Amino acid sequence: MRDRLVRPPAPGAVLTLCLLTGGLLTGCGSSGSSSGGQLAPNGTLSDAPAAAPAAAPPSAIPPKQLYQTVLNRYRAYQAAYQKAYETNDPTDLPTVAMDPILGQVTRDVQATKAKGEIWRFTNTLNPRVYARAKDSTKVYVIDCVRTLAAFRFSAKTGRRLDGGPGSAYVYRATVQYDSGVWKVAATVRDKPC
């Protein structure tokens, strides 16, 4: 598979880099020790467990492993999306989605709930990675999402209101690395597939 590298938008990137570098350099100053450069530990041994190491940055992960992780997170998003509409409860979405898509789906689920309806549907997925940002913090997924059937039900009576056979559309999704976790940030519906 050939990778197409995409430059991430960089507004404020230089400022962020300067602030991070400045913060790191601040920690490299003098500690006030009078050891004169000699090894003279002045702390105490702590028996507390060491903090867990931070997750490796995405740019350090081999592409095959990175893509598999991203595709798994995309599938987890799709499962949470389906569950949110079936239960009218979007509380599982923040673990797999981030704004702007998180807010859009949450509002839509709440609007569906306010109408006293629920949706049940079955999708088949066939996602593939088609591009990534140079720093590997964003990976772009393309998928032909085939809805086999979709039905709208009354949440009060359980009676089916409408629905039927579904359709198939190409969806493009941005999966973004956010605080050590991959989350779907945006989706766009494209042409039929």
Contact 1, 71 (CB under 8 A): no
* Amino acid occupying residue 119: W
pTM above 0.85, yes or no: no
- Report the CATH architecture of 57-192: Roll (3.10)
- Write the pLDDT tens digit of every residue in 58-103: 778 888 999 999 999 999 999 999 999 999 999 999 999 999 999 9
Helices (H), 30-171: 63-87, 101-114
Contact 126, 99 (CB under 8 A): no
- Write the pLDDT tens digit of every residue in 29-70: 444 444 444 434 454 544 444 433 445 667 788 889 999 999
* Cα dihedral 101, 104, 107, 108 sign: negative
* Amino acid occupying residue 41: P
